Amino acid sequence: MFQQKTQAAAYWTKSFRVSKADIDYLFAQFLENETPLTSREVALTIVRHRVKQEHDRLRKLVKKGEVFQPRKAYQVGQELIFPASDFAQGKVVSERPGRNHEIGEFTVIEVDFGGSNRREFASALPVPHALNLDEDGGQELKLPTIDPEEVMAEFGESIIDEVEARLVDEPDAIFVNGRWFLKSLLADVNIGHLHLAEAILDLAEGKPLPTTAMMDEIGLSPEVSPALREYSLDVALSQDDRFDNVGSAGKTLWFLRRLEPPEVVRIPPRLEYRPEPYDAGALTDELRALEAELADEFSPMEPPETPPSELTVTLIYPHRRVGALPMNAALERMLPAAGDSPRIWVTLVDEQTGDEFAGWVMREGRYVFGLSDFYRRHKLPIGAYVTIKRTDDVDRLIVSFSGHRARTEYIRLAIPNAGRLHFENFKRSIGAVYDELLILGAEDIDGVDDVWAQTRQRNRRLHEIMADLIPELARLNPQNAVHAKTLYSAINIIRRTPPGPIFAALVARPEFQHVGGPYWRMAADRQG
């Protein structure tokens, strides 16, 4: 029959603007409840207020006059309410007979809405009409019920955008750790409190602490509610460079910046990828399949729709050297969402021993740091399979590998010599399952680091590095050829590169000869 303004989609998507009255109401709620709110909770608070305002307005209008129904007769001078016209109020100023051959006789009333706004309506209609209320003659107008949660479910995204855009312009509004509040209502946190917080974190044995774990010892005013004390301390800590919130989205974990490993303060150069343009369309179906199999974090792979419960990745040299896991598209879906800091602290659990250790999720660099001791303890080789498993706690992950009794096997060993890498087959003891095409060894770590540094300093072209490595790797194979995956693994010893640019160069450049399947060698006229 009629629709309230707050029922219309256009009201929330096109017309909705946060007004000063909305801000005043919100700030009053902050003052009354002393509770910080997320952006969604702020938006829901305003939506509830708007819906209630509209409902109360209509109730008041209905009480001022009789609700117009076409089936009823009215007298001149009578005050009427018209729900179908946004509950406009008007007075009947005249009436005249009306007749229609289909519906019979009725009365036409003229209604004055003020000013020069006058309109005519059919009344005393002898036929049913959509604007009539209950047929027993009752005057009760039942206003539709609007659920603010349903409004947020349908239009929440645009409402939240509008709310956030308005609040950032409010001088007294503050947003910390995903929640809004008022600066003027914060509890007093002084420099002494912050010194105490630093001392508490110093004694935490290298682990971050939630705000609540420090509140009692810091001694903030007990007259302030616990929620406000916690938020006030969060604000103060976030504004002091000594502290870093390393919790995932919706969680607060404070850590001292001076205790953070260098590898989480900045991306380790070993893991930096300097993008090189290449023609992805040049890759054959076989090479594209290999690219998907390798699942490099810098390959253009689509993430899975749902987070996998477990995932296996293969170690390449830079991750083994730094002590990191490659955060490819699938692993990223398993990890907790980012909070205020680019660093997220997670707990990693060694499935073989049950030991727990710290992990750092670094989305900007696309890696998880903190596995050096894990790799070293289990003597995992380059090419080893590492499995990550989710738990009920998104901030807690299990890491594992497929182990077996150590046995002696031949592997390719990288030997630095005169600024280049050479390769030889040597026997080594291996106690983990690995990819035979990716496994490599490097015992002269300092020498390999020198080759990597020279390659980086000279900014050697990718195809030049490939031309050095292909003959070295091919001569270890009876067919005098190298598998594309092996070449990818070897290149990454001295230059971080995903498989795409390597595979594209194999196809496009004339010095590289395809010898069938995923195998390549230097062209005959380029040998030597």
Answer yes or no: is pLDDT of 340 > 80. no
Considering the domain architecture, whether residues 230 and 98 belong to the same structural domain is answered as no
- The answer to whether position 281 is within a domain reads no
Report d(CA 162, CA 151) in Å as an integer: 15
Residue 62 pLDDT: 64
Residue 177 pLDDT: 86
Considering the domain architecture, whether residues 152 and 15 belong to the same structural domain is answered as yes
> Among the residues of 66-190, which ranges form H helices?
148-167
Residue 124 pLDDT: 87
Answer yes or no: is pLDDT of 13 > 90. no
Answer yes or no: is pLDDT of 367 > 90. yes
pLDDT digits (tens, 9 = 90+) for 395-446: 999 999 998 888 999 999 999 998 899 999 999 999 999 999 999 999 999 9
Q: Closest Cα to residue 479, out of 440, 513, 521? A: 521
The rounded Cα 528 to chain-centroid distance in angstroms is: 51
What is residue 323's three-state secondary structure? coil
Residue 439 pLDDT: 96
Confidence band, pLDDT 50/70/90 cuts, at residue 153: very high
The two structure tokens encoding residue 503: 């595979």
Considering the domain architecture, whether residues 231 and 107 belong to the same structural domain is answered as no
Mean pLDDT of 459-474: 95
Considering the domain architecture, whether residues 400 and 499 belong to the same structural domain is answered as no
The two structure tokens encoding residue 385: 């399979």
> Of 342, 376, 404, at which residue does a domain stop?
404
Q: Are 191 and 46 in contact (CB under 8 A)?
A: no
- The answer to whether position 138 is within a domain reads no
- The answer to whether position 235 is within a domain reads yes
pLDDT digits (tens, 9 = 90+) for 267-290: 999 999 988 889 999 999 999 999
Answer yes or no: is pLDDT of 7 > 90. no
How distant, in Å, are the alpha carbons of 276, 417, 465, 476, 496 from that of 453? 19, 13, 13, 26, 12
Considering the domain architecture, whether residues 228 and 354 belong to the same structural domain is answered as no
Which of 103-107, 436-440, 482-486 is least confident? 103-107
Answer yes or no: is pLDDT of 528 > 60. no
Torsion region of 330: left, alpha or beta (phi above 0 gives left; psi -120 to 50 gives alpha): alpha
The mean of the pLDDT values for the chain is 90
What is the secondary structure of 291-317 as a DSSP string? HHHHT-TTS--PPPSS--SEEEEE--H
Confidence band, pLDDT 50/70/90 cuts, at residue 370: very high
The more confidently predicted of residues 60 and 280 is: 280
- The answer to whether position 419 is within a domain reads yes
Confidence band, pLDDT 50/70/90 cuts, at residue 137: very low
Number of structural domains found in the chain:
5
Report d(CA 299, CA 96) in Å as an integer: 79
pLDDT digits (tens, 9 = 90+) for 224-249: 888 899 999 999 999 999 999 999 98
Answer yes or no: is pLDDT of 485 > 60. yes
The two structure tokens encoding residue 24: 């005043």
Report d(CA 405, CA 383) in Å as an integer: 17
Q: What is the dihedral of CA 299, 305, 307, 311, to 10 degrees?
A: -50
Residues of the chain with pLDDT > 70, as a percent, come to: 95
Measured at the alpha carbon of residue 388, what is the angle toward residues 383 and 391, in degrees to the nearest 5?
175
Q: Closest Cα to residue 293, out of 84, 9, 485? A: 485
Mean pLDDT of 126-153: 72
Residue 1 pLDDT: 44
Which of 82-86, 347-351, 397-401, 477-481 is least confident? 82-86
Residue 144 pLDDT: 65
Considering the domain architecture, whether residues 75 and 33 belong to the same structural domain is answered as no
- The answer to whether position 288 is within a domain reads no
Q: Are 142 and 129 in contact (CB under 8 A)?
A: no
The set of residues, in sequence order, having a beta carbon less than 8 Å from that of 163 and lying 6+ positions away, is 18, 39, 42, 43, 46
- The answer to whether position 210 is within a domain reads yes
Q: Which domain holds residue 443?
A: 412-526
- The answer to whether position 106 is within a domain reads yes
